Chain A
Amino acid sequence: MTVLADSWPAIWLTLKLAAMTVVILLIISLPFAWWLAKYQGRFKPLFEALIALPLVLPPTVLGFYLLTAFSPNTALGSLWINVVGEQFVFSFKGILFGSIVYSLPFVMQPLLTGFSQLAKQTSMTISTLGISRLNGFLFVILPIIRPSIISAITLGFAHTLGEFGLILMIGGNIPNETQVVSIALFNQVESLQYQQAHALSLCLLVFSLLSLTLLYKFNRQARMFAVGH
């Protein structure tokens, strides 16, 4: 595994990025998906389209917009510097923001599906329980849609691991800051270090396969549990 030695900072950085992306996305998506599942207004298709947008747009489009929009010369860019304390592009917080946008559909979609399937009956049931809406959400709804939450976490995490085009455009390739695994791999292939590239690719492949296998295994049990309830 000595060929992997140089890649450890990139692996660690990628895991950190994926974990933080998923946690932040869950905090945003859980209430928003719950609201959107119940919302029947005329803007529903627009919201759904906005959520699905990062799924179909090439990451380079997103990267190009972020690069231009958050340049220190723009109002948005200087606002970011004032609030966050550092420049958007070339920073970990910048690629974290990019990942949140980029992986949004992978976390939102499973939650939205989960909530939509139970929204109506369950909210009626909760109102008969005599508990607050917040408690109903936390202790009744969330446990029921646990399989969807697990899907959301796994897909969001795995998708962020594979993020490439966006980070290539706004990252600037800085070790320990923006040089994630896919970028390190790109460098290795481009600079003809095929041995390291093979090792790192194998690592990614095994890890992704493992997490998806676990998802399907674990989630089947979780679904049965939910049904049995």
Chain B
Amino acid sequence: MVLASTFCGAYAAVDNQKQSSQVNLTIAVASNFHYPLSTLIKESEYWSTQSLRLVSASSGTLYAQISKGAPFDVFFSADEKRPKSLEALSLGINRQTYARGKLVIWPVEGKSSSIYFTDKSIILSGKLAIANPQLAPFGVAALAYLNTLENAQMVTKSLVLGASVTQAFQFVDSGNAQRGLLAESTLIQAKQMLKQSKYSNYLLIPVEDYPLIIQQVLIVSASENKASAQSFIDFVLSAPSQLKLNTLGYIPVVGAVL
């Protein structure tokens, strides 16, 4: 948001006409997509000059706020359950998948990303952190994956649940949990922001071993900026944006890239 407005200022000086037709959008975004979305905006010549307000919270909180009439235009949820439910309540329209999450196991000593974790058991002497399956699709995926393991019962006993996949990551990062089943995007973000190589020591969980982690977006029915909202969504679904999301740890939406 700060960045967006800084860019606005710079542009306004050069091009006054553009400012008068500036797009105003309030975008509700699930916390774990805040960083990727602001990266996309920052790197876009057009959208970085528009007046965009990003409101970040957990998907559940944003859902509750929208259902009570919060003045958002677009809602990027971390799951598909909440957008579906908003649509069913006629509170949202044009529901679309904008990205799919990737489950990883971290840390795995001496290993680095883009290799698959194919062991049929997870050896633990401490705790295994996952997101709470009640709250986050990453938690559902992690739990489903655990049940495919040969030592599922033992591993389940060592589980600790974060309120979000980011909190599960923090449990591991602070050394309180030994390993975690986390989002690749969280680790990539950690690596970019904290500049430490330990965040690369993860392995991807084979995608066929867990249910799809589908993240959906919709336009809030009460929005007065539906056309701009749709063009912003189109921007996120565009091939360059989807390729960028791929580098940030997401599986691009099929069709958007091809």
Contact = CB atoms under 8 A, between A and B. Distances in A.
A87 B127 contact: yes
Contacts of B160: 90, 172-174
B161 A173 contact: yes
B60 A192 contact: yes
Interface stretch (B7-15, B45-53, B169-177): B169-177
Interface string B55-71: 00010110110000000
B118 interface: no
B17 interface: no
Contact of B161 (A71, A174, A191): A174
B161 A89 contact: no
A71 B60 CA distance: 29
Nearest to A67: B174
A128 interface: no
B127 A90 contact: yes
B134 A190 contact: yes
A50 B82 CA distance: 44
Contact of A187 (B82, B135, B174, B175): B135
Contacts of A168: 163
Interface string B125-147: 01101001011000000000000
A22 B193 CA distance: 42
Contacts of A68: 174
A87 B127 CA distance: 10
Contacts of A90: 127, 160, 171, 176-177
A145 B220 CA distance: 59
A49 interface: no
A173 B129 CA distance: 11
Given A90-B127, A172-B127, A172-B161, A191 B135 contact: yes
Contacts of A187: 132, 134-135
Interface in A176-229: 186-187, 189-192
Given A190-B61, A192-B63, A89 B176 contact: yes
Most buried by B among A72, A89, A172, A187: A172
Given A67-B174, A173-B132, A189 B162 contact: no
Contacts of B64: 189
B85 interface: yes
Nearest to B64: A189
Contacts of B170: 67
A186 B58 CA distance: 11
A206 B103 CA distance: 43
B135 A71 contact: no
B75 to A, nearest CB: 15
Contacts of B85: 192
A72 B60 contact: no
B171 A172 contact: yes
A173 B177 CA distance: 13
Nearest to A174: B160
A176 to B, nearest CB: 13
A190 B175 CA distance: 27
Nearest to A188: B134
A202 B181 CA distance: 36
Contacts of A88: 176
Most buried by B among A67, A90, A186: A90
A190 B176 contact: no
Interface string A74-113: 1001000000000111100000000000000000000000
Contacts of A67: 170, 174, 176
B174 A87 contact: no
B198 to A, nearest CB: 13
Contacts of A72: 126, 175-176
Interface in A136-195: 168, 172-174, 186-187, 189-192
Interface string A51-76: 00000000000000001101111100
A190 B58 contact: yes
Interface string B108-134: 000000000000000000110100101
6 contacts: A74-B175, A87-B176, A89-B174, A187-B134, A190-B134, A191-B135
